[in-house]
Amino acid sequence: MDNRINLYQRTVIFSLLFTLMGFSYNVWRMEVSENNNNIRTASFEMLINLSSLEQLVYSAYYDDDLKEGNPRKGWVIVGLIDDLSVLTDDEVKAKTTALKDVWSVNWETISTSQQTVDKVVGSLDSVREEIKILLNSLD
């Protein structure tokens, strides 16, 4: 009888430990999945806004269309990209900060300078590439 009670107690303790470990893993996995989902969503939104900014730059310079290529509208897009980068990683944040710096120095000459267009588009491509690296690294 004592062996049976001892066996039952061990079984109960093992069952509780196994349940706690399973629950802990499940909570951890859900948290990681949610974080990855937030990163993916922010990254996709950033890619869409990077394309919009690139289109704005091309409209301003190549089409000489300051309605579609209004550099002031670019500030809004650059700000949104920078805000969304908080949900990504440090490398993407650094690239978006660099994009914001490039934009702040060059936005006024976007419609008249090929060099400015090249700088801004290069910075856009840099952010885009870093986002792709981040997305490929997610679990």
pLDDT in tens, 105-115: 999 999 999 99
For every residue of 39-94, DSSP letters joined together read HHHHHHHHHHHHHHHHHHHHHHHTS--TTTT-HHHHHHHHHHHHHHGGGS-HHHHH
Residue 27 in tokens = 């909570």
**Helix 114-137 vs helix 2-61: crossing angle, to nearest 10:** 170
pLDDT digits (tens, 9 = 90+) for 14-56: 999 999 999 899 999 999 899 999 999 999 999 999 999 999 9
Residue 52 in tokens = 């919009």
* Burial 73-94, CB ≥16 within 10 A → b, else e: bbeebbebbbebbebbeeebbe
Flag whether pLDDT at 2 surpasses 80: no
pLDDT of residue 75: 97
Residue 127 in tokens = 């952010």
pLDDT, mean of residues 78-97: 97
pLDDT digits (tens, 9 = 90+) for 59-78: 999 999 989 999 999 999 99
Sign of CA dihedral 114, 115, 120, 124: positive
Q: In whole angstroms, what is the distance from residue 14 CA to residue 8 CA?
A: 10
pLDDT of residue 85: 97
Which residues fall within 8 angstroms of residue 61, CB to CB, at 6 or more apart? 69, 110, 111, 112, 113, 114, 116, 117
Say which residue, 2 or 122, is predicted with more confidence.
122
All structural domains of the chain with their residue ranges: 41-137
